[in-house]
């Protein structure tokens, strides 16, 4: 809201249109024009939430939006305005404590944000003004200013590169702070400004930049620069992402650059990327709100019952106005309806402590402090990247223990994303295990079995294509001198595939030597240097799934080289050359290799003139540039000649298979969502044990529905067929579906992107309107699903579709690349892998881990414990408050419903704050009811807590029964003794604790000791500020009696006896089950052979739950 209002006042007229115009150096285009300063945002970064003047009202407003806080505020106001039986201090002090603690925590966090903002905003930068370097603070940069940036400095705003210290106007940038990629990226200046390398020359530039309005996509930028000169007309050049230097990125390997500011402050792409992230809520938070409503209803019921019974009691004149308590005339004249209403409010105030006011702040502290255990876990530390796990939000810790569906990417998540060139195919001939240039082992695929190897010219053409068709840059060591020392070259690229292909070509004798002045240099097998002028690069994108370059040879020939997925290349080449290469590609895909097809075509000079003109027009467009360029690319990349294909291996990550088996055994359904082709993805799924050899696969792919002329009819037939098969295998039953599919034939589903589009976008007038529902029914019955050829948007659609299933299952998405961000944001819990495709996924996730294998412990151990701890915390808070306030309710039956409080005001105030808060906080942070090693080794324990099992109606009624029973025991047991119940509640918590540490001992027994000390202190001194002191010397007198001590011990034992009895019975049952299990295992070992999947089909044991 702040940013929108801020922009409305700062942006001026430019907000009305889709583009903005920036004058370089804030100079008018000609000396005859008068420059009118435009209104853009300044360069201040504001990530803080509050200011000094709005902190108090804004923070109070946000805190009182919570039900419990608002409720206690109302109760406090009632106590202040109405004559109630308890002091306003009893509600006001706990509320003040909760509000103050929360405000201090949020204020401190915002102070840290203010401090970080000031560090950025006050940093020194240099601006070029009147041909001089002027020193300024970063926040004073304006749009249009020319900024000088030195090596290893970060860019203070979004800049268009004008020139650099290099003669070709390029600079190298790392964007680790934006997307985590540590590789150097190359950015370019337009050729008309690369010579302006000094402050004097850059100040002579007269140019205007037209570009799009600020938008958060880091990898998209559309603009053009118009350069004006006195001697000729304006020259227009297109601007794209390769010309834009982003705020937060760092200049590397370049002495200095000059750039013009186009986006500043809160309009930079970095600032826009840290806004608008949707707030996720856990299932536990929803349960808390439900419990609050239930207990509020109980409170209203108690107040209504007591109000009714009061007037029934007072229906007898003697009870209404006894001789010792005569009414005043004002009380007699009061309207009865008003009197009933005030009595009802008084009873509500009397019983208001049934609502736990301090629960929210305790839950927040538990989540915040508990999240450190993930960051501190040494098992999550990866030595390769020298990093561990990172928690981006602590609000979803317990959700890790409630996951039903896991959606995972393949490349870089299940696999290493560390590519190694394995083999290639040239004109149907296989080249592998090369020992000496291209004279290695040559085999053939398909029908071309009579050829020994491909034609020499085709071999060289293929290898040249690998050396030219890419975006790889050269990072030269200082020792390198010229091209002769090519062995010292280091290849740098954002894509590991491209580096693997360039290295593969080098292994065959063709070495890429880099680019100089738009000329690509290649060393061939004969150690000759070939130069190719790079005319155009048709960049890769996820829709086209291919990239191309247009180059000009030294002889003047113009060639287009293209590489891409087989589905993107085969339709664009001549058919008679496809079959032999397709056999090679299919076999490599079955082996689990990543495949790319390579094609080329010659372009006639006349055709190139037309292509060049179309490309320039498309690049200069400010509106719909991407659509126009895509259309031109489609026209250019047609009628090509297929040369061959490559196979690159992406190795499976360590323990990926074991992790997926453990997730399956825990009852989670794992779906793989990938953009790879089906054969490659299927092979990976078998390798990581997502599919077993016994798994029956159901395919809904383009291949299976192309058998019919009408695809929708064939798709409908397959959906009906698969549903019948699965419904017959899994008949409706009352058993848990998670346990059911471990006992039947396992089914796996494979679907591709085009078929999914057919299902989701079926025509409204056809009989396929129920495609989606049938598809979901099939997915629900399958143990694993593979979705291949998925676009990023389709990944998010899949996750959203499952989220909206009946029962609202909890979804988790895990990925490592920018194409996974959409599904990570869509799911309930998003996990980012700190991989080699950048840190976009990790930056947008809720949690990030170095490897996929860490997901096992994160869910089965940390998730399990987090959920059990916070569920116990929530139930305990309601339990202890009901146990505490029930005697107050029962007491009304013995005091004529006179609203007489049972407890002293000091004990009402201190009960939630001091007597019972620290023990449950320590328990919720440290409790391990089951050892962590047991949780990770026995995944089926995860199923016991799934479906929010500990916060369902059954456990809720159980805790309510315990609180009612114990409150009743203590009231009637202490009928003639004054005693609060905090002793018993801490004893109950001690009984529940399984994992004792010195902290547990300190807070539990320390709270009891503090209660005793406070009682002596409060009752042992005469306090002058109190009108009456009912507890003076009472506590000391009580403890001097032996009968009091006996009563305390006896009542604590009686109140806890049902739970002690339940624990004993459970222990007996578990021992008996363990004996029966060991006997069964002994008999099975003699009669059965070992299971193929021992971890998944292992018989579940309760051994780990033994106290």
Secondary structure of residue 867 in the 3-state scheme: helix
Strand order in the sheet with 669-673: 390-391, 847-849, 829-833, 811-815, 405-408, 669-673, 784-788, 747-752, 696-700
By the 10 Å C-beta count (0-12 exposed, 13-18 middle, 19+ buried), 67 is classed as middle
Closest CA to 391 of 408, 363, 368: 368
Under a CB-based contact definition with an 8 Å cutoff, are residues 569 and 469 in contact? no
**DSSP letter for each residue of 708-770:** SSSHHHHHHHHHHHHHHHHHHHS---SS-HHHHTTSS--EEEEEEHHHHHHHHT--TTSTTTT
Roughly what angle, to the nearest 10 degrees, separates helices 283-313 and 336-351? 130
For the chain, the first-to-last Cα distance in angstroms comes to: 53
- Per-residue HEC secondary structure of 268-316 comes to CHHHHHCCCCCCCCCHHHHHHHHHHHHHHHHHHHHHHHHHHHHHHHCCC
Roughly what angle, to the nearest 10 degrees, separates helices 771-781 and 792-803? 80
Residues 6+ apart with CB under 8 A from 1050: 973
Under a CB-based contact definition with an 8 Å cutoff, are residues 199 and 132 in contact? yes
The conformational region for residue 242 under phi > 0 = left, psi -120 to 50 = alpha, else beta, is alpha
- Per-residue HEC secondary structure of 223-281 comes to EEEEEECCCCCCEEEEECHHHEECCCCEEECCCEEEEEEEECHHHCHHHHHCCCCCCCC
Rounded CA-CA distance 967/250 in Å is 65
Residues 6+ apart with CB under 8 A from 711: 705, 758
Residues 6+ apart with CB under 8 A from 673: 407, 408, 409, 410, 787, 790, 794, 795, 798, 823
Rounded CA-CA distance 265/2 in Å is 14
Task: Give catalytic status of residue 409 as yes or no.
Answer: yes
CA distances from 796 to 281, 401, 408 (A): 18, 22, 12
By the 10 Å C-beta count (0-12 exposed, 13-18 middle, 19+ buried), 954 is classed as exposed
Tokens of 1084: 């099975």
Closest CA to 460 of 546, 532, 526: 526
By the 10 Å C-beta count (0-12 exposed, 13-18 middle, 19+ buried), 805 is classed as middle
Tokens of 600: 């080329």
Strand 696-700 relative to strand 747-752, pairing: parallel
Kindly report the number of other CB atoms within 10 A of residue 1071's CB atom: 13
With tokens 């508990």, the residue in question is 370
Residues 6+ apart with CB under 8 A from 990: 1004
Closest CA to 35 of 127, 126, 142, 141: 142
Phi, psi of 238 (to 5 degrees): -80, 150
∠ CA 948-951-954, nearest 5°, is 110
Rounded CA-CA distance 673/681 in Å is 9
What distance separates the 2 farthest-apart alpha carbons in the chain?
122
Question: Of 145, 179, 343, 409, which residue is the catalytic one?
Answer: 409
Active site residues: 409
């Amino acid at each position: 809201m702040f940013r929108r209002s801020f922009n409305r006042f700062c942006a001026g007229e430019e907000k009305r249109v889709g583009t903005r115009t920036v004058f370089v150096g804030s100079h008018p285009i000609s000396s005859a024009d008068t420059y009118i300063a435009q209104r853009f945002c300044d360069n201040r970064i504001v990530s803080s939430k509050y200011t000094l003047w709005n902190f108090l009202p804004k923070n109070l407003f946000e805190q009182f939006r919570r039900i419990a806080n608002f409720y206690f505020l109302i109760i406090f106001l009632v106590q202040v305005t109405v004559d109630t039986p308890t002091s306003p201090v009893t509600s006001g002090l706990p509320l003040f404590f909760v509000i103050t603690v929360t405000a201090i925590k949020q204020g401190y966090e915002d102070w840290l944000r203010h401090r970080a903002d000031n560090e950025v905003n006050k940093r020194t930068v240099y601006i070029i003004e009147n041909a001089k370097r002027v020193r300024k603070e970063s926040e004073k940069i304006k749009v249009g200013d020319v900024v000088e940036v030195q090596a290893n400095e970060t860019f203070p705003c979004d800049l268009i590169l004008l020139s650099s210290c290099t003669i070709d106007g390029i600079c190298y940038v790392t964007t680790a702070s934006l997307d985590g990629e540590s590789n150097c990226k190359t950015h370019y200046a337009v050729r008309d400004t690369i010579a302006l390398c000094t402050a004097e020359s850059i100040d002579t530039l007269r140019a205007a930049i037209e570009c799009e309005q600020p938008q958060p996509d880091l990898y998209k930028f559309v603009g053009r620069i118009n350069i004006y000169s006195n001697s000729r007309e304006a020259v227009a050049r297109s601007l794209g992402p390769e010309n834009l230097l982003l705020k937060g990125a760092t200049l590397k390997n370049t002495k200095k650059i000059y750039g013009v500011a186009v986006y500043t402050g809160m309009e930079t792409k970095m600032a826009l990327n840290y806004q608008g992230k949707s707030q996720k809520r856990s299932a536990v938070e929803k349960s808390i709100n439900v419990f609050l409503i239930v207990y509020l209803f109980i409170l209203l019921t108690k107040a209504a019952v007591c109000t009714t019974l009061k007037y029934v009691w007072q229906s007898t004149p003697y009870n209404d106005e006894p001789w010792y308590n005569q009414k005043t005339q004002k009380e007699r004249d009061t309207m009865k309806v008003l009197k009933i209403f005030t009595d009802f409010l008084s009873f509500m105030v009397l019983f208001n402590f049934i609502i736990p006011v301090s629960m929210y702040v305790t839950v927040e502290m538990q989540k915040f402090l508990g999240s450190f255990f993930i960051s501190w876990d040494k098992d999550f530390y990866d030595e390769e990247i020298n990093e561990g796990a990172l928690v981006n939000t602590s609000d979803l810790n317990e959700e890790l223990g409630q996951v039903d569906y896991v959606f995972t990417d393949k490349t870089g998540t299940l696999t290493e994303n560390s590519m190694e060139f394995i083999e290639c195919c040239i004109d149907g001939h296989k080249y592998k295990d090369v020992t000496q240039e291209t004279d290695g082992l040559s085999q053939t695929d398909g029908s071309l079995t009579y050829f020994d190897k491909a034609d020499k010219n085709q071999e060289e053409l293929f290898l040249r294509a690998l050396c030219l068709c890419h975006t790889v840059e050269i990072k030269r060591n200082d020792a390198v001198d010229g091209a002769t020392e090519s062995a010292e070259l280091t290849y740098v690229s954002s894509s590991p595939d491209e580096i693997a292909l360039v290295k593969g070509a080098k292994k065959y004798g063709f070495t890429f030597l880099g680019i100089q002045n738009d000329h690509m240099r290649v060393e061939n097998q004969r150690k000759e240097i070939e130069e190719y002028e790079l005319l155009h690069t048709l960049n890769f994108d996820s829709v086209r799934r291919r990239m191309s370059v247009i180059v000009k040879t030294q002889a003047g020939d113009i060639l287009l080289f293209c590489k891409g997925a087989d589905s993107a290349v085969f339709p664009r080449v001549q058919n008679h050359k496809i079959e032999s290469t397709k056999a090679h590609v299919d076999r490599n895909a079955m082996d689990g290799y990543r495949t790319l097809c390579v094609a080329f075509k010659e372009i006639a000079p006349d055709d190139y003139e037309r292509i060049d003109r179309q490309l320039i027009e498309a690049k200069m467009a400010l509106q719909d540039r991407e659509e126009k360029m895509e259309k031109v690319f489609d026209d250019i990349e047609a009628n090509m000649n297929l040369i061959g294909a490559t196979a690159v291996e992406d190795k499976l990550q360590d323990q990926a298979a074991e992790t997926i088996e453990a997730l399956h055994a825990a009852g989670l359904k794992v779906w793989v969502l990938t953009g790879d082709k089906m054969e490659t993805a299927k092979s990976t799924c078998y390798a990581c044990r997502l599919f077993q050899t016994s798994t029956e696969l159901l395919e809904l792919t383009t291949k299976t529905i192309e058998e019919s002329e009408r695809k929708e009819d064939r798709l409908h037939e397959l959906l009906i067929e698969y549903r019948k098969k699965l419904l017959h295998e899994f008949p409706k039953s009352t058993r848990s579906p998670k346990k059911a599919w471990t006992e039947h034939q396992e089914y796996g589903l494979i679907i591709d992107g085009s078929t999914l589009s057919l299902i989701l976008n079926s025509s409204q007038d056809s009989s396929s309107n129920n495609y989606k529902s049938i598809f979901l029914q099939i997915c629900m019955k399958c143990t694993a699903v593979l979705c291949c050829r998925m676009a990023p948007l389709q990944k998010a659609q899949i996750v959203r579709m499952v989220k909206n299933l009946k029962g609202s299952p909890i979804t988790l998405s895990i990925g490592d690349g920018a194409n996974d961000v959409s599904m990570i944001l869509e799911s309930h819990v998003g996990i980012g892998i700190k991989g080699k495709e950048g840190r976009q996924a990790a930056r947008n996730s809720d949690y990030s881990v170095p490897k996929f294998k860490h997901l096992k412990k994160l869910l089965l151990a940390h998730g399990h414990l987090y959920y059990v701890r916070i569920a116990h915390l929530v139930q305990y808070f309601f339990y202890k408050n009901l146990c505490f306030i029930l005697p107050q309710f029962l007491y009304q039956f013995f005091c004529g419903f006179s609203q007489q409080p049972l407890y002293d005001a000091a004990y009402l105030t201190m009960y939630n704050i001091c007597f019972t808060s620290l023990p449950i906080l320590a328990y919720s942070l440290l409790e391990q009811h089951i050892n962590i090693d047991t949780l990770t080794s026995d995944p089926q324990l995860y199923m016991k807590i799934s479906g929010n099992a500990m916060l369902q109606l059954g456990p809720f009624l159980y805790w309510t029964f315990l609180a009612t029973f114990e409150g009743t025991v203590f009231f009637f047991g202490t009928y003639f003794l004054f005693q609060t119940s905090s002793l018993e509640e801490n004893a109950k918590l001690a009984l529940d604790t399984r994992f004792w540490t010195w902290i547990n001992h300190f807070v539990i027994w320390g709270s009891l000791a503090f209660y005793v000390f406070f009682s002596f202190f409060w009752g042992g001194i005469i306090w002058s500020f109190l009108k009456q002191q009912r507890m003076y010397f009472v506590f000391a007198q009580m403890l001097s009696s032996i009968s009091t001590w006996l009563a305390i011990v006896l009542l604590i034992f009686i109140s806890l006896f049902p739970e002690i009895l339940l624990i004993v019975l459970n222990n007996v049952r578990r021992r008996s089950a363990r004996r029966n299990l060991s006997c069964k295992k002994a008999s099975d070992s003699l009669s059965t052979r070992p299971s193929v999947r021992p971890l998944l089909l292992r018989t579940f044991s309760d051994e780990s739950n033994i106290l």
